[in-house]
A and B are shown apart, each in its own frame.
Chain A
Amino acid sequence: MKKVKADPKGVLTGAHYLDGDYALAEGALAAGCRFFAGYPITPSTETAERFSERIPSVGGVFIQMEDEIASIAALIGAVWGGKKAMTVTSGPGFSLMMENIGLACMMETPLVIANVQRGGPSTGLPTLTGQQDMMQVKWGSHGDYEIIALCPDSPQECFDLCIDAFNLSEIYRVPTFIMADECVGHMHEKVVIPPAEEIELVERKWFKGPKDKYLPYKPDKDMIPFMVKAGDGHRFHTTGLTHDERGYPALNAEFQEVCVRHLVEKIRMNADKIIKLEEDEIDNAEIIVISYGITSRVTTRAVQQARKAGIKVGTIRLITVWPFPEKRIKELAKKIKAFVVPEINYGQIVREVERCVEGQAPVIHIPHCGGWVHDPDEIFKAIKEASK
């Protein structure tokens, strides 16, 4: 893995007062993203607007495509053309992207997609928050694959995680998602952008060998194949079909096993390295609240209340939601009295928690239909109930 410093041209060093959407655009520019294709959709449009305003002075391309299918297709093309690329969208647009997200997975294309979640289904609540695409991001495209998904809880983290997302996508050659939400996307807070030399980026894993020896899908020692870009004389082929190391179609069960297993294992076997959690007072905890994104901020308030009331409660904030921190939850399930999982949906990540807890402790879900965040009181009550 080759690390490089960020190009100062894209880095707006200093303290700013930005919303999450803008912070995403700044994160992308700082991460070296020089291609953005997108289609307007509330509540993510501001990212596209910011990028379109900033990119001419940084050097790169912004293009508003005819729809989200075109946007994600253009992204994949742009990455194979040698750029780092990003798009943002929300519910309906995310649904449209699904097929080509699968193509990006299959072609092992590093790119970043931010979903500023709003209430669904369908057109739902365009201007209000939700966390209802958490399963879609993992399972939305057909077939078996793994992706990485991160959940920012503030504009600052929109910036920080955007850089992480680009780095992870390059390390694992996998589409990486920032699953933000309307609340975080639209709230303004202080965002500190460090100097370029303090931003560490992972360079694409360029192939340096003889041009006619390039195999786009031959895993290297770390499981990840090398990349090239079009126009450098490798004359390579890549396809969305099940393929061999050369990238040639190989349409049988034998190659399906090699090809798909690789897509899955390169993430599963590196899960420990990928997963980032924020844990608080876990050691003596009887109750653990697991949350992510904006919900974890509201949770903190409830937890403060619970601690004042003498309840031993710890928290886990899932910064990485996918791959899911299976190992950690399994470990804790043995000694914890109950888990509490608030999220702005009718039961998504809670299913993963239940799966890992394996019935060893109650898992209490606090659903929310979307449109607003939880009332901290509601979470507090659930914690109290669980502690009885």
Chain B
Amino acid sequence: MSEIRFSGFGGQGIIRCGLIAGKALSLFDNKQATMTQSFGPEARGSACSSQLVVSDDRVLYPYISAPEILISMSQEAYEKYEPELRDDGILLIDKDLVKSKPSRGKIKTYSVPSTRFAEELGNRIIANLVMLGFFTAITRIVSPEAMKKALPGLVPGRFLELNKKAFDKGYEYGKKILTEEKKPKKK
């Protein structure tokens, strides 16, 4: 079982991230994924989040308590949610928007300039897709094929290709980081 939290500020498509990953896992990767999100006044504040509990069997407890994966696309969200990340967890951040503290425990931190990449692709609104690609590559919790299959219906039809491009960009970047990470170890 894994617990994942996507976080950022309102308007970054954070809830979408949870929906796309949840749908990909549940419908195309043969997992059971329960997605919840914060509603109401606290959801209107600047830190916004969606949570996924992923399991091979039925998810019994729908909320997350100590996620092993935290995705933060804003400084505020990072500060709010970093403390609950497990000591051996994975932290994914937007390189330009989040300044991370020295990591604690065995937490592995990976960063991607998701917003910058999105801007290069023509629209910062797809930064979440860059991040999702990056997330897919680094965590390998979900297959990239499933993620792409999950997109129709969750991103506007006329931007489907652009969203896929953004996803690929993040995915390739994540792959690259992983190979680079492995290289020195092999030596």
- Touching chains A and B, CB distance < 8 Å: yes
Cβ–Cβ contact A186 & B19, under 8 A: no
- List the B residue with the shortest CB-CB distance to A188: B35
- List the A residue with the shortest CB-CB distance to B39: A127
For window 332-388 of A, CB contacts with B under 8 Å fall at 372-373, 376
If A127-B39, A127-B43 are given as contacts, then 13 extra A-B residue pairs at C-beta distance below 8 Å, sorted by A number, are A17-B26, A17-B35, A17-B150, A42-B40, A43-B39, A186-B36, A187-B62, A188-B22, A188-B36, A294-B62, A298-B61, A301-B60, A373-B62
Cβ–Cβ contact B37 & A186, under 8 A: yes
Which residues of the partner chain A approach B40 to less than 8 Å between Cβ atoms? 42, 126-128
Q: Does A300 contact B (CB under 8 A)?
A: yes
For window 19-51 of B, CB contacts with A under 8 Å fall at 19, 22-23, 26-27, 32-41, 43
Give the shortest distance, in Å, between B184 (CB) and chain A (any CB).
40
Number of interface residues of B (CB under 8 A): 24
- List the B residue with the shortest CB-CB distance to A17: B23
Question: In the complex, which of the residues A15, A42, A294, A372 contacts B39, with contact meaning CB atoms closer than 8 Å?
Answer: A42
Q: Does B117 contact A (CB under 8 A)?
A: no
Sort A-B residue pairs by CB-CB distance and give the 8 closest, nearest first.
A127-B40, A17-B23, A127-B39, A188-B35, A190-B26, A301-B60, A297-B60, A300-B60
Tell whether A186 pairs with B39 under 8 Å between CB atoms, given A17-B23, A17-B26: yes
Q: Does B110 contact A (CB under 8 A)?
A: no
Which residues of the partner chain A approach B60 to less than 8 Å between Cβ atoms? 297-298, 300-301, 376
Instruction: Using CB atoms and an 8 Å cutoff, list the residues of chain B in contact with chain A.
Output: 18-19, 22-23, 26-27, 32-41, 43, 58-63, 150
Summed over the interface, the residue pairs from A and B with CB atoms below 8 Å come to a total of: 64
- List the A residue with the shortest CB-CB distance to B62: A187
Report the bound CA distance from A15 to B60 in whole Å.
20
Give the shortest distance, in Å, between B59 (CB) and chain A (any CB).
8
- List the A residue with the shortest CB-CB distance to B52: A188
Which residues of the partner chain B approach A372 to less than 8 Å between Cβ atoms? 63
Cβ–Cβ contact B19 & A17, under 8 A: yes
Cβ–Cβ contact B32 & A190, under 8 A: yes
Cβ–Cβ contact A376 & B23, under 8 A: no
Report the bound CA distance from A126 to B36 in whole Å.
16
Q: Does A203 contact B (CB under 8 A)?
A: no
Tell whether A188 pairs with B19 under 8 Å between CB atoms, given A42-B39, A127-B40: yes
Q: Does A245 contact B (CB under 8 A)?
A: no
Give the shortest distance, in Å, between A365 (CB) and chain B (any CB).
21
Report the bound CA distance from A128 to B60 in whole Å.
18
